[in-house]
């Protein structure tokens, strides 16, 4: 079992343990995930989290795993509310991303969405206990600041802002 110890800025003296075994249910299986792309004032809603795949802090659009019998759009609404406090209406599917890294394999569906309620807050991931939460923060990041190595998936660093400039009829689901 791999273990990483972090001393997170803003939390004086507090070490946060992250065990790669915490993500055990994500290992050696294909996981289906849904993520939301919510843009307000030329900024993209992102979640700052300890990645079970990368083993480091990253920013990525809010989202998570589909539960058995749950539709992609219902998953998106549930995950956005859990992680960010924001209620959304799912829009068009923009991206499909496949993640294969060691013993992790995920198919990620990225939907453009619109806020219909809620208040932005740092939420939680119910798959983890309070002591082992991987979500650290949520924030709207300006599109011009996305070109950095802690933004995932990598395509969002440049491609997302370019796609936003296209006319609605020019956007088709894209494998990124």
pLDDT in tens, the chain (176 residues): 232 333 333 333 333 333 434 445 667 789 999 999 999 999 999 999 998 888 899 999 999 999 999 999 999 999 999 999 999 999 999 999 999 988 889 999 999 999 999 999 999 988 888 888 999 999 999 999 999 999 999 999 999 999 998 876 676 788 87
The CATH fold of domain 20-175:
Nucleoside Triphosphate Pyrophosphohydrolase (3.90.79)
Show me where the domains of the chain are located: 20-175
Cβ atoms 92, 112 nearer than 8 A: yes
- Nearest alpha carbon to residue 26 among 58, 57, 53, 47: 53
């Amino acid at each position: 079992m791999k273990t990483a110890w972090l001393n997170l800025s803003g939390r004086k003296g507090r070490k946060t343990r992250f065990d790669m075994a915490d993500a055990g249910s994500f290992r050696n299986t294909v996981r289906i995930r849904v993520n939301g792309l919510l843009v307000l004032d030329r900024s993209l809603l992102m979640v700052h989290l300890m990645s079970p795949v990368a083993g480091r802090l990253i920013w990525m659009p809010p989202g998570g795993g589909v539960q058995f019998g749950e539709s992609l759009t219902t998953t998106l609404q549930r995950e956005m509310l859990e992680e960010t406090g924001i209620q959304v209406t799912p829009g068009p599917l923009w991206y499909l991303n496949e993640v294969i890294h060691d013993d992790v394999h995920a198919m990620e569906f990225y939907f453009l969405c619109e806020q219909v309620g809620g208040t932005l807050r740092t939420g939680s991931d119910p798959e983890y206990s309070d002591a082992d939460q991987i979500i650290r923060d949520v924030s709207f990041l300006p599109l011009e600041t996305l070109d950095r190595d802690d933004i995932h998936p990598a395509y969002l660093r440049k491609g997302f802002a370019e796609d936003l400039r296209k006319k609605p009829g020019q956007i088709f689901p894209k494998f990124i």
